[in-house]
Amino acid sequence: MVVQSWRKVVRRLSILAVLVASMALNGAPQAVASSRKPPKYDHVVVVIMENHSFEQISLARRAAPYLNKLAKGGALFDRSYGVAHPSQPNYFALFSGLTQNVHDDGMHAFAAPNLAARLRAHGKTFTGYVEAGSPRKHNPWESFADAKGSEKSLAHLPRDYEKLPSVSFVIPNLENDMHDGTIETADTWLRTHLGGYAAWSKKNNSLLVVTFDEDDYHTENHIFTVFYGSGIESGRYSERIDHYSVLRTIEDIESIPPLGTSVIRRVIASGWSRR
């Protein structure tokens, strides 16, 4: 009995220690939700990483210094969640507002509304920039009939960021998105490929979103999501969001009608600075 009680105490203290360490991320206090609307950005870039929980990234300060730098200078959402397992339905949710009733990573084809087509119909532009080796399951536009022409090689990501489309998704390959490679490898990749844009976005009415498709099946799909750029009030926010919320916010920024389940999600209200 005494041993069992002691084990319970140790377990509770361990859980408390993790929570305290997580809350102490970068020494930043919990920020108060601003309840403001996002700016009408000129460019939005969304980078999607893989299969790690919020805690795995927020506590990995040595392995993920750049992600934690973005978190310190941006809006970190500590109640951000994927909507499904495995990977592919989460990408569909971000791109079309629905998982398309998919529960696997197989080959699928749809004639369904999606972000690329909706932006095009409203005079906006979309590109999915894909690193060589990224699988189809991570490139959702390949599964939508009227969006297949949206893909370009990551090598064509403009160095002149003014030439970026209205909205971009950037997809690393399996080595660089944490699926197969390490947190440290992905963090270095992010700084190398998007660090210039992140710095530029601060002064050029643009936004960087870094998120994950799903967690590692251990934390109720609790994932790391950070917004960084112009018009962001840095802090850590407790507003609950998911992939549909992120999509709904992009739709609001671009003034396009919401897709699928995003119609019943609110635009993210936290993290926007006074203008």
* Rounded (10°) angle between helices 243-254 and 87-96: 20
- Which stretch of DSSP H or E encloses residue 128? strand 126-130
C-alpha to C-alpha distance for 259 and 116, rounded to whole angstroms: 11
C-alpha to C-alpha distance for 186 and 57, rounded to whole angstroms: 11
- Strands 43-49 and 235-237, by their bridges, are unpaired
| 215 in any annotated domain | yes
Beta carbons within 8 Å of 200's beta carbon, 6+ residues apart:
161, 206
3-state secondary structure 151-210: EEEHHHCCCCHHHCCCEEEEECCCCCCCCCCCHHHHHHHHHHHHHHHHHHHCCCCEEEEE
pLDDT tens for 135-188 read 999 999 999 999 989 999 999 999 999 999 999 999 999 999 999 999 999 999
Residue range(s) defining the domain that contains residue 54: 27-264
Domain containing 200 — which CATH number?
3.40.720.10
Residue listed under structure tokens 């959702």: 140
pTM of the model: 0.89
| 13 in any annotated domain | no
When divided into structural domains, the chain yields a total of: 1
pLDDT tens for 191-216 read 999 999 999 999 999 999 999 999 99
| 82 in any annotated domain | yes
Instruction: Tell me what pLDDT residue 123 has.
Output: 98
